[in-house]
Amino acid sequence: MAKILVVDDSASMRQMVEFTLKEAGHDVTVAEDGQVALNVAKGKASDLVITDVNMPNMDGITLIRELRALPAYKFTPILTLTTESATEKKMEGKDAGATGWIVKPFNPEKLLATVNKVLG
């Protein structure tokens, strides 16, 4: 069981990811934008962060930069949720310190496969 922080402004996406990960036995915290996620992250460590890129208030790229500046999140795997068209977005995420990405659209199986890839 891992502690996973899921950040997405879309409620359906958030629910789907949350549900899938919980079914797999993980401890999931959700946040609807980068700012909320950052506040959560400051209060507790996570084993994995999954974040959308395009969000109001604070986007995913900024969130990743802010998270990497927190000692507890220096090496935490961070995956971005991106659409396949956004190749440069993947790279932007990487440059900000993301570990990798999950390409949208994805199904629960693919999500879990990718998550298992980064969980120790």
Partner 1 sequence: MAIDIGQFVQTFFEESFEGLDIMEAGLLALSPGATVDLEQINTIFRAAHSIKGGSGTFGFREVAEFTHVMETLLDRMREGRMPVTRDAVNTLLESVDCLREMLVAAREKSPVDANRVEEVRERLSELLDAKEAPPGDTGGKPASAAKSPSAQVAGWRIRFRPYPQLMHSGNDPVRMFRELADLGELTARADLGRLPRLAELQPEDCYLAWELELRGAVSRDAVAEAFAWVEGDCELEIEPLAGDAPAPAATAVKAPETAAVPPPADPKPGGPREEGQQGELMLERRKGEDRRRGDRRASVAAADSGSSIRVGIDKVDAVINLVGELVTTQSMLSALGEDFDMSRLDKLHEALDQLDRNTRDLQEHVMRIRMLPVSSVFSRFPRMVHDIGGKLGKQIELRINGEQTELDKTVIEKIGDPLVHLIRNSLDHGLEPPDERIRAGKPETGVITLDAYHKSGSIFIEVGDDGRGLNREALLRKGLDNGLLRAGEEYSDEQIYDLIFHPGLSTAKQISDVSGRGVGMDVVRRNIQDVGGSIQIASRPGKGTRITISLPLTLAILDGQLVSIGQDCYIIPLLSIIESVQIRAGEVNRIPGRGEILRFRGQPLPILRLYEMFGAEGAVTDLEKGLLVVVEADGRQVGLFVDDLQGQQQVSIKSLEKNFRRVAGVAGATILGDGRVGLILDISGLIRTNNAAI
Which CB sits closer to partner 1, 11 or 27? 11
Q: Which residues sit opposite 4 in a β-bridge?
A: 28, 48
Which CB sits closer to partner 1, 40 or 103? 103
Whether 28 and 51 have beta carbons less than 8 Å apart is answered as no
CB of 80 to partner 1, least distance (A): 10
CB of 43 to partner 1, least distance (A): 20
Which parts of the chain fold into alpha helices (H)?
A: 11-23, 34-43, 60-68, 87-96, 108-118
Which CB sits closer to partner 1, 43 or 109? 109
Which spans of this chain sit near partner 1 (rule: CB under 8 A)?
9-13, 15-16, 19-20, 23-24, 52, 54-56, 68, 74-78, 81, 83-85, 87, 91, 94, 97-101, 103-110, 112-113, 117-118, 120
CB of 105 to partner 1, least distance (A): 3
Q: What amino acid occupies position 20?
A: T
CB of 115 to partner 1, least distance (A): 12
Which CB sits closer to partner 1, 24 or 40? 24
Helices 11-23, 108-118: inter-axial angle, 10-degree rounding: 60
How many C-beta neighbours within 10 Å does residue 27 have?
A: 13
57: left (phi over 0), alpha (psi -120 to 50) or beta: left
